[in-house]
């Protein structure tokens, strides 16, 4: 870890293991300087330090029993431990304590996302990496008084610089201490001190319950931002202005820089935050980054913000972000559906005004060479799955689940009726069906049977979708085992959503719940029906079946040929 200027300071720890006596390791240890010495000097220093007589035989070895020769002597690292022995095969008379360092390798940061957002057998993971950055921006804008704006800019116009992804928000920003903490892998809000001084310390406060758990409190593990940026690219520049501050704070982490530090044996986890005036881009001298000048110029109009600027984007990600723009924006609109549209979701027939929710704009902008920019507000996505479910539903059944402790899940089941000649249960044209071979056309007529084999419930956590966890059904809403007066098809005309609060745990990549299903299927879980916001302790199954029956009678409109009357030959047409 020592740089060459301090080479003269280089020392090693030498244990005198020639002793016959027992547990004496503390007393027999000496620190000996090696920097600036040649091998002969060093041997002389050793002889003197340990009072070794002229005729006495001794050998110096590493703790791995490699004998120190002139060649190896030159390579000795600062702080290493050596054993002074009578001969190379002398046993250790007592234990020695060797000081070691075991700093996590920098791959901890730069490879953290690599195997986390893995393609998971066909699923594209870029939207879920971007979601980590949107999560952070949602947390940061949670106490905004005005509009909350989150922008994803894809700067892929190579004439303006190397391809870059910028995620920008008008949230509270970070103080330089918070920016420093951002870079600390695994430092979470539960373990963090965000202030330089203990006297200013403010502990984490759990958010109050809000409908659908839309509390914007989606920062948990202290890994999301790092995993996401290094999954997308190789370098990140965090630029931020905390609310109420005159200064901008800026921090760059990059794979290249880590490699350089390793090569030069510099401290891996040492870096610099740049503190500067808003709008000052004089440090951006690299042509590849010239688009940054305009990003930095925008600072002048912003009282607080954070910009995450990712460069060194993997080429396959560029291709995907460009070519599958429609797909991944639709998936993001799905993930943040209730943040964007409010607790009632995107109901096109009766747009709900959520007075208590500040508006959240999540905008995407794709810039390509000699093309006009492609802009999209996720609110305008009209065919994400939640939008389809909501707008094809004729009725809904609300419930709530209380599990051990403070765990609360709000639930909603929607009825998608049969109308005249077809099921209205929405199809997902982009569903991940990795296991069905492509040419298997005959299998695609799923919609005729409503839900088919799809699970009923999608699961949200603190208001955002956890995409890889679904729940097929609960026993009270499953296909009944005993015959019911209801036609079986009714059970495949329902879709559902679960909104779990922060008492439930998710995996660090926020792709799966840890044990939501286990907890909900536990005997202790209490289901109540919710009517007009009020919980009712009733037999949920009975209520559900009654509701389903009502839905069937009220909403399903089947055209049937009843009472065959004979054939009429029409000669008049």
Ligand X SMILES: Nc1ncnc2c1ncn2[C@@H]1O[C@H](COP(=O)(O)OP(=O)(O)OP(=O)(O)O)[C@@H](O)[C@H]1O
Q: Does 171 bind ligand X (CB under 6 A)?
A: yes
Contact between 227 and 236 (Cβ < 8 Å): no
Q: Does 178 bind ligand X (CB under 6 A)?
A: yes
Footprint of ligand X on 493-512 (CB under 6 A): 508
Contact between 472 and 452 (Cβ < 8 Å): no
Partner whose binding site includes residue 319, from a copy of itself, ligand X, Mg ion, none (CB under 5 to 8 Å by kind): none
Contact between 174 and 386 (Cβ < 8 Å): no
Contact between 180 and 238 (Cβ < 8 Å): no
Q: Does 181 bind Mg ion (CB under 5 A)?
A: no
Partner whose binding site includes residue 559, from Mg ion, a copy of itself, ligand X, none (CB under 5 to 8 Å by kind): none
> Which CB atom, from 140 or from 500, has the smaller least distance to ligand X?
140
Residues that contact ligand X, how many (by CB under 6 A) = 24
Closest by CA position to 490, among listed 445, 448, 552, 545: 552
Tracing tokens 């002597």 back to the chain, one arrives at 73
Give the contact letters, 116-155, x = binds to ligand X (CB under 6 A), - = no.
----------------x--xxx--x---------------
Residue 370 Cβ vs ligand X, minimum distance, rounded to whole Å: 32
Alpha-carbon distances, residue 343 vs 25, 138, 236, 338, 464 (angstroms): 67, 16, 34, 6, 12
- The window from 30-38, 221-229, 362-370, 411-419 that contacts ligand X (CB under 6 A) reads 221-229
Partner whose binding site includes residue 478, from Mg ion, a copy of itself, ligand X, none (CB under 5 to 8 Å by kind): a copy of itself
Footprint of ligand X on 311-340 (CB under 6 A): none
> Which CB atom, from 105 or from 371, has the smaller least distance to a copy of itself?
105
Q: Does 216 bind Mg ion (CB under 5 A)?
A: no
Footprint of ligand X on 181-200 (CB under 6 A): 182, 188-189
Query: Please, where are the H alpha helices in 454-568?
Result: 516-520, 540-555
Partner whose binding site includes residue 137, from Mg ion, ligand X, a copy of itself, none (CB under 5 to 8 Å by kind): ligand X
Q: How many Cβ atoms from other residues are within 10 Å of residue 77's Cβ?
A: 11
DSSP state of 524: T
Contact between 300 and 279 (Cβ < 8 Å): yes
d(CA 474, CA 119): 30
Q: What's 65-76 look like in SS3?
A: CCECCHHHHHHC
Q: In what order do the strands lie in the sheet with 557-558?
A: 422-423, 418-420, 557-558
- The window from 215-223, 274-282, 353-361, 512-520 that contacts ligand X (CB under 6 A) reads 215-223
Residue 251 Cβ vs a copy of itself, minimum distance, rounded to whole Å: 8
Residue 222 Cβ vs ligand X, minimum distance, rounded to whole Å: 4
Closest by CA position to 169, among listed 141, 199, 130: 141
Residues in touch with Mg ion (CB under 5 A): 135-136, 219, 224
């Amino acid at each position: 870890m020592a740089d060459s200027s301090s080479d003269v300071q280089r020392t090693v720890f030498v244990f005198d293991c020639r002793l016959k006596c027992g547990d004496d390791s503390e007393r027999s240890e000496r620190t000996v300087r090696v920097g600036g010495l040649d091998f002969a000097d060093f041997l002389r220093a050793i002889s003197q330090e340990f009072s070794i007589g002229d005729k006495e035989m001794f050998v110096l070895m590493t703790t791995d029993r490699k004998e120190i020769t002139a060649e190896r002597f030159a390579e000795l690292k600062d702080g290493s431990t050596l054993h002074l022995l009578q001969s190379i095969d002398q046993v250790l008379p007592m234990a020695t304590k060797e000081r070691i360092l075991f700093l996590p390798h920098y791959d901890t940061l730069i490879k953290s996302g690599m195997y986390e957002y893995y393609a998971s057998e066909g699923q594209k993971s870029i939207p879920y990496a971007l979601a980590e950055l949107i999560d952070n921006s949602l947390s940061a804008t949670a106490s905004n008084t005005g509009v909350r704006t989150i922008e994803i800019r894809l700067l892929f116009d190579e004439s303006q610089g190397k391809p870059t992804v910028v995620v920008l928000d008008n949230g509270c920003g970070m103080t330089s201490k918070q920016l420093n903490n951002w870079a600390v892998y695994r430092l979470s809000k539960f373990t963090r001190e965000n202030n330089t001084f203990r006297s200013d310390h403010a502990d984490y406060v759990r958010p109050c319950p809000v409908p659908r758990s839309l509390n914007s409190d989606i920062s948990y593990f202290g890994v999301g931002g790092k995993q996401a940026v290094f999954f997308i690219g190789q370098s990140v520049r965090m630029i931020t202005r905390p609310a109420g501050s005159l200064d901008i704070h800026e921090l760059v982490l990059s794979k290249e820089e880590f490699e350089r530090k390793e090569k030069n044996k510099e401290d891996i986890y040492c870096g610099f935050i740049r503190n500067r005036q808003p709008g000052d881009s004089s440090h951006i001298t690299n042509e590849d980054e010239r688009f940054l000048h305009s990003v930095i110029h925008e600072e002048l109009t912003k009282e607080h913000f954070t910009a995450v600027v990712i460069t060194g984007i993997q080429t396959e990600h560029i291709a995907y972000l460009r070519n599958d723009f429609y797909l991944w924006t639709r998936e993001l609109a799905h993930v943040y559906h209730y943040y964007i549209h409010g607790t009632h979701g995107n109901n096109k027939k009766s747009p709900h005004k959520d007075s208590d929710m500040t508006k959240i704009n999540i905008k995407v902008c794709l810039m390509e060479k000699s093309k006009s920019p492609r802009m999209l507000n996720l609110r305008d996505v009209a065919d994400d799955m939640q939008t389809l479910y909501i707008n094809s539903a004729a009725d809904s059944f609300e419930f709530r689940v209380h599990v051990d402790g403070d765990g609360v899940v709000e639930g909603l089941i929607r009825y998608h009726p049969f109308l005249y000649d077809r099921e209205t249960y929405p199809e997902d044209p982009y569903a991940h069906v990795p296991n069905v071979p492509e040419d298997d056309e005959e299998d695609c007529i799923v919609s005729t049977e409503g839900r088919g084999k799809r699970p009923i419930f999608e699961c949200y956590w603190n208001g955002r979708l956890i995409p890889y966890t679904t729940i097929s059904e609960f026993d009270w809403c499953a296909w009944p085992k005993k015959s019911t007066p209801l036609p079986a098809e009714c059970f495949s005309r329902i879709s559902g959503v679960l909104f779990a609060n922060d008492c439930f745990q998710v995996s660090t990549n926020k792709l799966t719940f840890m044990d939501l299903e286990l907890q909900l299927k536990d005997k202790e879980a209490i289901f109540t029906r919710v009517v007009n916001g009020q919980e009712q302790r009733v037999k949920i199954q009975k209520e559900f079946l009654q509701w389903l029956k009502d839905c069937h009678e009220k909403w399903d409109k089947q055209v049937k040929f009843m009472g065959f009357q004979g054939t009429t030959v029409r000669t008049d047409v």
